[in-house]
A = this chain, B = another copy of it.
Amino acid sequence: MNYAEFQKQMNITKKSICKEIYLQNRDSIRIKKEETVIRNLEKIFSAAMKIANRKGFQGMSMRDLSKKAGLSLGALYAYFASKDDLLNMMQHQRRAIVIRTLEECFDTESDALEKLETIIQIHLYLSEAMQPWFYFSFMEAKNLSKAQRGKAVASSRSSEKLIADIIKEGQETGQFRVQDHAMSASLIKAMLQDWYLNHRKYARRKVSVDQYMDFILEYVMAFLGKK
C-alpha cells in the first residue's frame, strides 16, 4: 500500500473528521442540523489550525478565528463552550483517529519486520494526512488541562512502547540484531516526529512521504538488520 491508496481506503478527509467530531459532541453543540454543523466545523477547525499553527493557540483571538472562519463571534460559541473546549476537542479527536487507525491497520499475525514497517507507515501516513493536526497537537500540548495532558502523554508513551515491543520481539525471534530496544524506539519516534514538525522543509525539498518512509526504513534496518 502506498500513500495514495491509504488515503482512499482510510477516507481521512476534513469532512469525515468533522463528522466524527460532531457525533462525539452532539450534546454540547447547540446547533442541531447535522449538515450545518459539519460544514461549519470544517470552517472552524481549518481556520483554527491555520491561525494557531502560525502564531500559537494562545495568540489566536476569538475575533481572529471568527473572521477567518466566516462566522460571527456569537455563532462560534454555539459549537463549543469555551476556547479551552475547542482545544480539547481538537486534541482528543487527533488521538482518537490515531488509535482507531492503528487498530484497523495493525496485523498481530505478521512477523516483527512486517509489523515494524507497518507501524512506521501508519504513523507517517497519518501525520501526512493530518499534518496540521499533528503539528498543532505537539505544539499546544502544554496548554491542555491536566487531565487531557495526562492522556496525551499516555498515548505518546504507549505508541513508543508498541515500537519497542516489536523490536524486542524481532530480537527474540532472531530477525533483528540485539540492541537497546527502548532507545531504538525513541530514535524511530524522533524521526517520525520530524516529518510533521518540520514538514515545510521536506516539502521544499520535494521529498514525498513514501520517499521519507523508505529512507527511515533503510536507516533503521542498517542498525537492526542482520548483516
Most buried by B among A59, A184, A216, A227: A59
Binds B, one of A105-113, A119-127, A165-173, A189-197: A189-197
| Chain B residue contacts of A222, Cβ below 8 A | 222-223
Asked if A183 lies at the interface with its beta carbon under 8 angstroms from chain B, I say yes
Q: List which A201-224 residues lie within 8 A (CB) of chain B.
A: 201-202, 205, 207, 215-216, 218-219, 222-223
User: How many interface residues does chain A have, given as a range?
Assistant: 20 to 34
Chain B: minimal CB distance from A165 (Å): 16
| Contacting pair A215 B143 (CB below 8 A) | no
Whether A186 touches B182, Cβ cut-off 8 Å, given contacts A54-B142, A142-B56, A219-B223, is no
When distances are taken between beta carbons in the complex, the residues of chain B under 8 Å from A53 are 142
Q: In the complex, what distance in Å separates the CA atom of A222 from the CA atom of B224?
A: 9
A100 interfacial contact with B, CB 8 Å = no
With contacts A58-B59, A190-B190 known, is A215 near B139, CB below 8 A? no
Shortest distance from the beta carbon of A56 to any chain B beta carbon, whole Å: 5
Top 3 A-B pairs ranked by shortest CB distance? A190-B194, A58-B58, A222-B223
